[in-house]
Amino acid sequence: MRSFKFTVALTSLLGLASSSQGHQPGTRDLEPPQPWKVTKMSSFSPSGRPGSSTTAWIQATISSPGSVPAGPQEGGNATATFDASTANCTAEWEFAEEQPFGRTYDCVTVSPVSSSGSVSTWSLEIQEGGGDWVSPTGNFNATFTLKTNLTTPDGDSYYKVLVGTQHFAVGDNMRGSCGGSGVCSWYLMEESNPVLIQPTLVVCEGTC
């Protein structure tokens, strides 16, 4: 059974690789994906005083729009769709010893399995925001990755991986304050909410 499973995994990997190049029969070029919406981006950095919290964090909420074509099209109608999904993401690190950069933080999808049966998994990575002010909580880029897959009742499997990056910085789209003790809290400006992120398709099987 072990070698059988391995063959299946390898076959689906090869399937992903060929379809990601867009040469699969029955696929056509779709419009660019609809933008994602970030409705929460909050951060906290601790004071470093003895006895107080030593953990810094970034918390985000992101949503993808619904009804993204998944399977082959018939007469212009998608035979299967990936539904909308929303996730809460948290990056946490020891402020005095670590940086959040280059790590992948798994998000919690609010309804991981949608009504159409599509499964959505989100993750978050933080990068340095560039410029003069180096602050992992006040000036950073956030890269979100959405993996969705769908297995139809007929047993067909469709899969998409989308990635999108946006810049977040105090003064641009975040504001907040620092306390006398040295703690700082930043959050999304009301007038910037929601922040849009244009995702790009990086892996696809089905309608691409």
Ligand X SMILES: *[C@@H]1O[C@H](CO)[C@@H](O)[C@H](O)[C@H]1NC(C)=O
Alpha helices in the chain (DSSP H): 2-20
Q: Does 175 bind ligand X (CB under 6 A)?
A: no
What is the size of the binding site for ligand X (CB under 6 A)? 18
Amino acid at 92: E
Measure CA of the first residue to CA of the last residue in the chain; give whole Å.
32
Cβ closer to ligand X: 49 or 170?
170
| Spatial contact of 110 and 40, defined as CB atoms under 8 Å apart | no
- 109-142 b/e (C-beta count within 10 Å ≥ 16 → b): beeeebeeebbbbbbbbbeebeeeeebbbbbbbb
Amino acid at 30: L
Question: How far apart are alpha carbons 26 and 97 in whole angstroms?
Answer: 52
What is the Rg, in whole angstroms, of the alpha carbon atoms belonging to the chain?
Answer: 20
Q: Does 3 bind ligand X (CB under 6 A)?
A: no
Interface stretch with ligand X, choices 46-54, 74-82, 91-99, 182-190 (CB under 6 A): 74-82
Q: Does 61 bind ligand X (CB under 6 A)?
A: yes
Cβ closer to ligand X: 157 or 192?
157
Q: Does 74 bind ligand X (CB under 6 A)?
A: yes
Kindly identify the residues of this chain, within the stretch 98-137, that bind ligand X according to CB under 6 A.
Answer: 108, 110, 119, 121, 127, 130
Q: Does 154 bind ligand X (CB under 6 A)?
A: no
Cβ closer to ligand X: 165 or 185?
165
Of the candidate residues 167, 173, 176, 183, the single one contacting ligand X (CB under 6 A): 167
Question: How far apart are alpha carbons 64 and 188 in whole angstroms?
Answer: 18
Of the candidate residues 2, 4, 29, 77, the single one contacting ligand X (CB under 6 A): 77
Judged by the rule CB under 6 A, the positions of this chain that interact with ligand X are: 61, 74-75, 77, 88, 108, 110, 119, 121, 127, 130, 141, 147, 149, 151, 157, 165, 167
